[in-house]
Chains A and B, each alone.
Chain A
Amino acid sequence: MEKIFRNLAFSSASLVFVILIGIFITLFLASKDSIDEFGLGFIVNPNWNTEISLSNPNANMDMDMDMDDSSASDDMMMLDDEDDMPAEADTMLFDEDVKDTFTEYGGLVPIVGTLLSTIIALVFALPIAMGIAVFLAEIAPKNIAYPIGIAIELLAAIPSIIFGMWGLYYFAPIVADLVGGYQVSLLTAGLVLGVMILPFMAAITRDSMNTTPDVLKESAYAMGATKFEVIKDIIFPYSKVGIIGSIILALGRALGETMAVAFLIGSIFTLPSSITDPTISIPVAMANNFGEAAGLGESSLFYLALILFIISFAIISIAKLYFLRGAK
């Protein structure tokens, strides 16, 4: 009995690893064509689905080198859309007269869009969430803290598409009026994202602040500390782990959020020159383009997915390792 239970528990726990590694391998295999084609240069290439002229022989040679070990079918697929597709891809190298094009995919724009919108969301939400949490945990009397706490939890339960619609129709015009620029932009997407992660951060932070033992707070008050000093010196350090946990969860949600951002970010593959410009994020690029993607385009979307996976994983691991070690 003991043994069965132990094995059950062990296999449940290992399932997590199996799923994690399985997803990673699937993403990697599906994006292999794109990785072979564009390599790591994909990350810094701002062009997406752009037809590049292949008339420059030097550029041509470089492409050729990259394509050497990829199969001929790749070449076929990426040239699919073109009317004057040559029967043999190689022939174009020697035919200077045929003006040929090559469809290029690069991930820079959605990667930048994802990171910037997440940073805006975090910068906006973090101080407000801390304020709410401090208010609910320490300042508000119980009869006020309780209804506000419920409201915060309800806010967390609103489906993201509702945030997207609300953001597009009501919030974005106000933001655009106040700061100028486009209604659909990095800024409005980031702010609505911030509103979405706010309740998570506030609720988890409040809960971890509530775990500060009363006697520890009393002990600081008994030293002559003010409420502010108790919050700053006792409650925040004590609940540091929980606060960092809430930030990590919020980050995870902000990085992967699709629907609300799709409404607000503008969905164009252009690098923003200011935060009020529209751009695109990785999940939005995937959601918008999977329908009609094929071949190298589809593979590049998987490449983006892999990058998102790695970014989330890296940020969460760094946050955990760095901050939680510091907390001890």
Chain B
Amino acid sequence: MPVMNIQDFSFTYPNVSHPSLKNINMKIRKNKITALIGPSGCGKSTLLRSMNRIHDLYPGNRYEGTIDLLNDSTQKMENILDIKKENEFIELRQRVGMIFQKPTPFPMSIFDNVAYGLKIAGIKNKSELAGRVEQALKDGALWKEVNDRLDKSAMGLSGGQQQRLCIARAVAVKPEVILFDEPTSALDPISTGAIEELLVELKKDVSIAIVTHNMQQASRISDYTAFMYLGDLIEFDKTESIFLNPKEKQTEDYITGRFG
């Protein structure tokens, strides 16, 4: 079942005449990992950043088509491109979390980092906060490493721990979808492995879209893969089909390493 349905979607950056994404059609399925792969500049990050409208922090972008997001309570699809008010943006971003390429711990303690999303969502009860933070840190596979220093600054953690902290922070607000923008490209192989395990674990609760430069990573963890090239979606299918039996010549060339 799709939680996000992208139809005829085109995106143009401000002060640019030609669109960076052209006629994208794909789905993010519930409790699955969908990988977006393709060479640099193909638009995979641009597409990911459209899914929570984070582009709109900078004015002047143009969207066409629709991105429908499943509303859990009504089971109806709602077009997130219609959002205009700030409180709707806030609600969207609470439902669609995002993890960035570099770890982004906030300049505060480990506890406050994880509690941040909860606090700004209006949860004030201390014991509830403590419970949710503990659960989120466990979900982020970080609890054992940090439970004795929750009040210490998050800046003191290693890169891999910081990235898992960011994941815990995103998980804490119980989003429906989490978008990962090359979450392991700044990490060493061991931290990368930990994050990959974590993603597979997390898909029980959330639907995941991940942009990755690393094709092995896509084949290891994803259920669906989209191959993009120069702003077009070339092929979107189950990961096995893309890697074992690609229909398009370009896809085959890319995954066999002939270009990109």
A binds B: yes
From A141, A219, A229, give the contact of B120 (CB < 8 A).
A229
Q: A223-B170, A234-B106 are in contact. List 10 more A-B contacts (CB 8 A).
A: A141-B59, A215-B102, A218-B57, A218-B100, A222-B52, A224-B90, A226-B90, A233-B108, A238-B107, A240-B107
**A positions within 8 Å CB-CB of B:** 141, 213, 215-226, 229, 233-234, 237-238, 240, 328
Task: Check A219 against B117 for contact (C-beta < 8 Å).
Answer: no
C-alpha spacing A118/B104, complex, angstroms: 39
Contact between chains at B98 and A219 (CB < 8 Å): yes
Q: B137 within 8 Å of A by Cβ?
A: no
In the complex, how many residues of chain B place their beta carbon closer than 8 angstroms to a beta carbon of chain A?
27
Contact with A along B151-187 (1 / 0, CB 8 A): 0010000000000001001100100000000000000
User: Chain B's nearest CB lies how many Å from the CB of A127?
Assistant: 22
The reply to whether A219 and B173 contact each other, CB–CB distance below 8 Å, is no
Set B91, B93, B121, B153: member contacting A221, Cβ < 8 A: B93
Query: Inside 8 A of A225's CB, which chain B residues have their CB?
Result: 90, 116, 120
What 6 pairs between A and B have smallest CB-CB spacing? A219-B104, A222-B98, A237-B107, A224-B94, A224-B93, A223-B117
Q: Could you tell me the distance between the alpha carbons of A217 and B153 in the complex, rounded to whole angstroms?
A: 18
Supply 23 A–B pairs (Cβ within 8 Å), ascending by A.
A216-B104, A218-B57, A218-B100, A218-B104, A219-B98, A219-B100, A220-B116, A222-B93, A222-B170, A223-B120, A223-B169, A223-B173, A224-B94, A224-B117, A224-B120, A225-B90, A226-B86, A229-B120, A233-B116, A237-B107, A237-B108, A240-B107, A328-B153
Chain A residues near B100 (CB-CB < 8 A):
215, 218-219
Q: Which residue of A lies closest to B86 (CB)?
A: A226
Q: How far is the CB of A254 from chain B (nearest CB, A)?
A: 29
| Contacting pair B107 A223 (CB below 8 A) | no
> Bound complex: CA of A240 vs CA of B153, how far in Å?
15
Report the bound CA distance from A217 to B106 in whole Å: 9
